[in-house]
């Protein structure tokens, strides 16, 4: 197996660039960090360009991988350099950004989460993971929402990008599209005059919009929804973390 | 107002030490970073030792604060040094760690969250904030759970430490104590043979145990609960983020 030891190697520099949106757009790939994600990518038959591992990682995981990989050995220093974590497992994959990531399917089915200008990559990734767990079909990333394949988003998704559809789309366009498909879209508001989330019968196919951490969903989006939902706050906290609120709503609306 | 400009000033060094558990134990205080938290501390009449602000922060917030504060002006460089955030607002308070943080009340009422070896400070703080929002009475921090007043915990709590009780206690002792008080305690398991969380009638007073991110709740704790709950996973995700799972469970169990 080919070994890379120098931090100055061109491929190492390219892997580091995958931490930026520009780098991912230039290469059409993003980085998976850790065995769980590498395993998920292979199970999902994602387009794996290269698998990079330290000698220790290849000893541990090599037998669990297919034979026809484009495999490279990297030094522990390189592993530290390209990882977003403090103590990387030492196993990585460079995988293709799926083309489907840019468009809604022709016919929309199932439950979908809409993200309106959500900022925190950990929140975004956690919401994708939760949407997967709750049986949602996909997540629509609206304008101003952090990139799907930023390292902290990828880490928090825990591989759910291989299970459900991730789409980048203007939310107003997506909302019209859902309406034409006969699907209700619900907004969310931190406003007790909105509809209590426990009083909605959404059925299995619908959209649910979560908004920005500080400002919530855009007011204009809220005028176009079937209803806007709120979660009653019983204590003195002013609000919920957006990923927690999304979890409470998704598991309430989608029950089957 | 007294000004501090040197990063070498003894007080600056002490504020930096508050980022560590040892530093907080030595001083009996912890640090609040940002106007929202400083405001919450004053509203809750917490023991505020000192309020530190940059000149810009005093111009913005000075009129909103009581006159009898122990107030200091700090340089923007000092603000950056003592802050856990990249772009601090420039307003801080050093407040006393409450003594009540170490013991359960004599008579336990309400709903309580138990944290069993939860590791991530963001998860912990988010769970405290969610417990507050869901109308819980308090949170019991068990052994192996990160410290209540670590900077990232404080940031994620968003001031909820001033609204509900935070207690550090051995969870086995707490569980016996709750049982003697006639309160049911529910565990959580990632196991479809456990009880579906939607099928439990907990009433308003109970305990709910959330476990470690990787390993879940300790098996031995699970043998001592009234029931162990699970959240059905409808998709392919292996699990939920612990703070999301806690939110889903808390808002399901505590409805009134």
Q: Which residues of B touch A (CB under 8 A)?
A: 122, 126, 129-136, 156, 158-160, 163-164, 198, 231, 233-241, 243-248, 251-252, 254-256
- pLDDT at residue B104 in the model: 83
A2-97 sits in which CATH class?
Answer: alpha beta
- For residue A135, the chain B residues in CB contact (below 8 A) are 234-235
Shortest Cα–Cα distance, B160 to chain A (Å): 6
pLDDT in tens, B229-252: 999 999 999 999 999 999 999 999
CATH 3.30.1330.30 region(s) of chain B?
Answer: 2-97
Please count the residue pairs, one from chain A and one from chain B, whose beta carbons lie less than 8 angstroms apart.
105
Q: CA-CA distance, B78 to B84, in Å (whole number)? A: 12
B101-253 sits in which CATH class?
Answer: alpha beta
- pLDDT at residue A101 in the model: 56
- For residue B135, the chain A residues in CB contact (below 8 A) are 234-235
- pLDDT at residue B256 in the model: 65
CATH 3.40.1280.10 region(s) of chain B?
Answer: 101-253
Q: CA-CA distance, B49 to B58, in Å (whole number)? A: 17
Q: CA-CA distance, B171 to B121, in Å (whole number)? A: 19
pLDDT in tens, B1-31: 999 999 999 999 999 999 999 999 999 999 9
Shortest Cα–Cα distance, A103 to chain B (Å): 22
Q: CA-CA distance, B185 to B175, in Å (whole number)? A: 7
Q: Is A2 exposed, middle or buried (0-12, 13-18, 19+ CB in 10 A)?
A: exposed
Shortest Cα–Cα distance, B10 to chain A (Å): 31
B158 → chain A, closest CA residue: A237
- Compute CA B160 distance to the chain's CA centroid, rounded to the nearest angstrom: 7
pLDDT more than 90, % of chain B:
85
- pLDDT at residue B84 in the model: 87
Q: Which of A198, A233, A241 sits opposite B126 (nearest CB)?
A: A241
pLDDT in tens, A100-123: 656 787 788 999 999 999 999 999
Q: Could you tell me which residues come within 8 angstroms of residue B199 by beta carbon, excluding any fewer than 6 positions away?
A: none
Name the token pair of B22.
């040892």
Q: Could you tell me which residues come within 8 angstroms of residue B182 by beta carbon, excluding any fewer than 6 positions away?
A: none
Q: CA-CA distance, B92 to B29, in Å (whole number)? A: 13
Mean pLDDT of B211-223: 94
Q: CA-CA distance, B91 to A213, in Å (whole number)? A: 21
pLDDT more than 70, % of chain A:
98
Mean pLDDT of A62-80: 93
């Amino acid at each position: 197996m080919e070994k890379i030891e120098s931090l100055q190697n061109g491929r190492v520099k390219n892997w580091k660039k995958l931490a930026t949106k520009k780098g991912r757009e230039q290469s059409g790939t993003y980085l998976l960090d850790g065995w769980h994600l590498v395993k998920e990518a292979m199970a999902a038959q994602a387009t794996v360009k290269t698998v990079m591992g330290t000698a220790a990682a290849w000893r541990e995981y090599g037998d669990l991988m297919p034979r026809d990989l484009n495999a490279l050995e990297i030094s522990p220093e390189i592993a530290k350099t390209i990882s977003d974590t403090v103590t990387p497992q030492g196993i990585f994959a460079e995988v293709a950004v799926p083309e489907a990531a840019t468009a809604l399917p022709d016919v929309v089915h199932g439950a979908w989460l809409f993200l309106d200008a959500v900022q925190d990559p950990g929140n975004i990734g956690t919401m994708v993971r939760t949407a997967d767990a709750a049986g949602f079909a996909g997540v629509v990333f609206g304008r101003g929402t952090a990139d799907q394949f930023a390292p902290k988003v990828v880490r928090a998704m825990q591989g759910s990008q291989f299970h459900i559809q991730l789409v980048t789309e203007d939310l107003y366009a997506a909302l019209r599209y859902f309406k034409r498909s006969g699907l209700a879209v619900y907004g969310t508001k931190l406003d007790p005059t909105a509809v209590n989330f426990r009083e909605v019968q959404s059925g299995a196919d619908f959209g649910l919009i979560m908004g920005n951490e500080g400002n919530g969903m855009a007011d204009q989006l809220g005028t176009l929804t079937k209803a806007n939902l709120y979660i009653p706050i019983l204590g003195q906290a002013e609000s919920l973390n957006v990923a927690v609120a999304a979890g409470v709503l998704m598991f309430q609306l989608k029950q089957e």
